Amino acid sequence: MDFEETIQKIINQTGLTPSEIKEKIQEQIQELSGLIDEEGAIVIVAKNLGVDLKENQNAASLDADQKIGELTANKNANIVGRIVNIGDVKTFSKKDGTQGSLLPFFLEDTSGMIRCIAWGEFNTQIANESGFTKGEILRIVNGFVKHDRNQKSLEIHIGSKSRIQLQPDNVDNRLIPKKNNGNIKITKIIDLSLSLPFVNVEGLITGIYGPKPFQRKDGSEGKRASLGIRDDTDIVFITFWGDHCDKLNNIELNQYVQITFLTPKANYRDKSKIDLTATTNTKIIPINPSDSSVPILIEKIQAKTRTISDLTQKGGFGTIEAVIQEIEENRTISTRDGRQIDLMKIIIADETGALRLNLWGDKVDPNLQIHQSYRFEEVSVKLNNFSNQYEGTLARTGQIAPIEKSIKTTHTIEQPKKFLPAKEATIEEINQAEFYSIKATLIRDIRRITIYRACSKCNRKIDNCQCNPPGDQVNRMILNISLDDETGILRATLMGERAENFLNTKTDRIKELEDAGELEHFLKMKNLELVGKEFQFRGKTRYSDYSNEYEMSINSFQELDPKEEIENLLKNLNTTE
């Protein structure tokens, strides 16, 4: 029922004239300082007059209900199903300055599940109805189906021309899933998909990280935390933002838990991987495997025995029985926060392939022997973006045990190249942490050069140096530049000798100019020389949480000859013709 139909309903039940009703609507808008529009105000007016607008729900016929699993984008639809989850009503300011509201919830039928978003006060007031609870049946009439922001799954929007029916009539029971009697539907980590609106997972907590503060673009401070959880198929990381970080209170490592109402999202560094994000309704439910009232055994999350070939197809999690081919290195790593962590790198092989395996901390075992067969329990295998090879890491809860097994091995691992091949790309095509090679122009003046005192051995700031004994104190330079290739703009950084080579000036000389107050003039001359020039840049990209964009750390660069570039372009055109 639209605005005029609602007015007619009020006329029929109250006897008021249209002008009297519209006058009450304007009074209501003024009373709320213009924070609602006419559509929202008429709902309040009707309620004050005792007019029940819920009766305006037009009955939808049995044939009109579509299966959720068969919905297509950019079309109107009627669906019926069982309420799975309900979010909170959220308010926001519209472009015209008025106040809007929305209510998210999830609906499930026997063919699938979909996120529903009710818009406007007329629709969001259903949150106050007693029948609007998890497990109840609901019908949406004339909702609009569209892709979500990730373009991976569908959602249905309930607007001014849509209707919501609680406990509807004429329902095809074949569409209604059985009522969940408190049992949580668990998704295996290996089965996670971006097409799922939300998931529940279950497993063992392998790591807890944070919370850590960060600064948003608007200058305000936020916080972020994450944890790792594994089941018998794989490991996944879950991110908690803001107040959701409090959900990690009293949670411990190696605790067996169920974590509910998580949203799957593509990993910001590697779009082929899936991470999970906590929502308002996320709960972490500790489970005691020894509790006989809970049908869960810790043994069921033991990592399955898998071959190296299987794990290096696309990564994964499992137990490997293999021979140690080589012990590459055994050293101590200094972390940024000053901790010392032991690291052992070994190469293992079975009948199907070979794998470099990293052992950290107390997993380092000096008694490991080359040519001995071992069982490596709980190994996580992922692609190393630096070496472009799959590598394994023994989990914190993993174990190594010698086995009496003859394993024939014919595979080995090539040593990673010192200079890795870079992927040719445009700035627009950069979408993951990887080595890229781009042709781009310096488009903005260099206004600042950062110089700090560094250790000559590790290049870290003197305050962060862990060298024993430390190296000499030297000046080290950081140079930030902006690049453009007509497909996009990229922020890039040159450090140390690379920055010196780009400016053709040593850091000590830059420091002298800065101390003498002549750096501004120097940069003015350099900008005249460099801005507008095209270079071939090669470097490693990473995603910046601060700028929400990819940035590049430049490893090498080469100025391009315009004449040569034109000749190459003409050659390509002639070849094409």
Checking DSSP bridges between strand 534-544 and strand 435-442, what pairing results, if any? antiparallel
Residue 114, H or E segment: strand 112-119
How far, in Å, CA of 568 to CA of 100, rounded?
56
**Greater confidence, 314 or 130?**
130
For residue 438, pLDDT beyond 90 = yes
**Greater confidence, 438 or 315?**
438
Whole-model pTM: value is 0.48
Q: What is the mean pLDDT of residues 92-106?
A: 85
How far, in Å, CA of 512 to CA of 93, rounded?
53
Confidence of residue 571 (pLDDT cuts 50, 70, 90): low
Q: What is the mean pLDDT of residues 201-212?
A: 87
Residue (of 82, 89, 139, 132) closest to 111 by Cα position: 82
Domain 62-175 -> CATH class: mainly beta
How far, in Å, CA of 28 to CA of 131, rounded?
28
Residue (of 554, 565, 414) closest to 480 by Cα position: 554
Residue 90, H or E segment: strand 90-93
**Greater confidence, 57 or 98?**
98
Beta-carbon count within 10 A of 140 CB: 26
For 303-352, where are the alpha helices, taking DSSP H only? 308-314
Mean pLDDT of the chain: 82
**Greater confidence, 107 or 152?**
107
Model confidence pLDDT, tens digit, residues 4-26: 778 888 888 888 888 888 888 88
CATH 2.40.50.140, applies to 189-299? yes
pLDDT for residue 271: 65
Weakest-pLDDT range from 253-262, 274-283, 332-341:
332-341
Side chain identity at residue 468, one-letter code? N
Question: Where, residue-wise, is CATH 2.40.50.140 in the chain?
Answer: 62-175, 189-299, 303-402, 423-564
SS in 3 state form for 372-394? Answer: CEEEEEEEEEEEECCCCEEEEEE
pLDDT for residue 575: 45
CB-based burial label for 499 (10 Å; 0-12, 13-18, 19+) = buried
Query: Considering the domain 303-402 in this protein, what is its CATH number?
Result: 2.40.50.140
Model confidence pLDDT, tens digit, residues 184-199: 788 888 888 887 888 8
Asked if 320 and 376 count as a contact pair (C-beta separation under 8 A), the reply is yes
Q: What is the mean pLDDT of residues 67-81?
A: 90
How far, in Å, CA of 393 to CA of 376, rounded?
10
Q: What percent of the chain has pLDDT over 90?
A: 26
- Residue 217's SS3 state is coil
How far, in Å, CA of 78 to CA of 61, rounded?
9
Tokens of 412: 């080995």
Model confidence pLDDT, tens digit, residues 107-123: 989 888 898 999 988 88
For residue 418, pLDDT beyond 70 = no
Query: Considering the domain 423-564 in this protein, what is its CATH number?
Result: 2.40.50.140
pLDDT for residue 43: 74
pLDDT for residue 321: 94
Burial string for 416-448 (b: 16+ CB within 10 Å, else e) reads eeeebebbebebeebebbbbbebbbbbeeebee
User: For residue 268, what is the DSSP state?
Assistant: S
**Greater confidence, 295 or 361?**
361
Q: Give Dmax (Cα) for the chain.
A: 94
Q: What is the mean pLDDT of residues 175-183?
A: 74
How far, in Å, CA of 306 to CA of 309, rounded?
8
**Greater confidence, 479 or 148?**
479
For residue 91, pLDDT beyond 60 = yes
pLDDT for residue 577: 46
